[in-house]
Amino acid sequence: MTTSGEVRVLVAGHASGPVLVLDEPLSFWGGMDPNSGTVIDARHPQQGRVLTGAVVVMPAGRGSSSSSSVLAEAVRLGTAPAAIVLASVDVIIALGAMIPAEIYDLHCPIVVCAGPLYERVAAAGHLEVAATEVPPVIRLT
């Protein structure tokens, strides 16, 4: 299934990978180890899961303005998610993907989709995020 029009691009790019749904918002600062890509927040339901290479689907980020620096470092190290799909805009997460795109030409596309589309995306096994196309496209497989 391919969908477009209901997708808002925060950070352009093209990526695909298995879907990893985070049940709760995640703060990358203190919530993810940028060296391994592992969720390390002891209170997060997906603690121990590895985000590296996955299309992470989560409702939102959970604060700390320092989350952007942790995500940027993970992108630089190659341990970041392949892409991130959010249910609501998060400028801190977006900044964390913009920095390595500008400095290193390394990309982690960030898109926002809400409502029924978010639910369909979260239920998919694999996603392709084409956030360089106009309009942006998410392919569910």
CATH number of the domain bearing residue 104: 3.50.30.10
Q: Determine the residue type at 18.
A: P
Q: Is the pTM of this model over 0.85?
A: yes
The pLDDT tens digits along the chain (141 residues) read: 555 558 999 999 999 999 999 999 999 999 999 999 999 999 999 999 999 999 999 999 987 789 999 999 999 999 999 999 999 999 999 999 999 999 999 999 999 998 899 999 999 999 999 998 778 888 887
Active site positions, annotated: 64
Distance, CA of 61 to CA of 71 (rounded, Å)? 11
Closest listed residue to residue 79, CA positions, set 49, 58, 115? 49
Q: How many domains does the chain have?
A: 1
- Domain hosting residue 114, numbered range: 2-140
Distance, CA of 130 to CA of 15 (rounded, Å)? 7
Dihedral of alpha carbons 42, 44, 46, 52, sign: negative
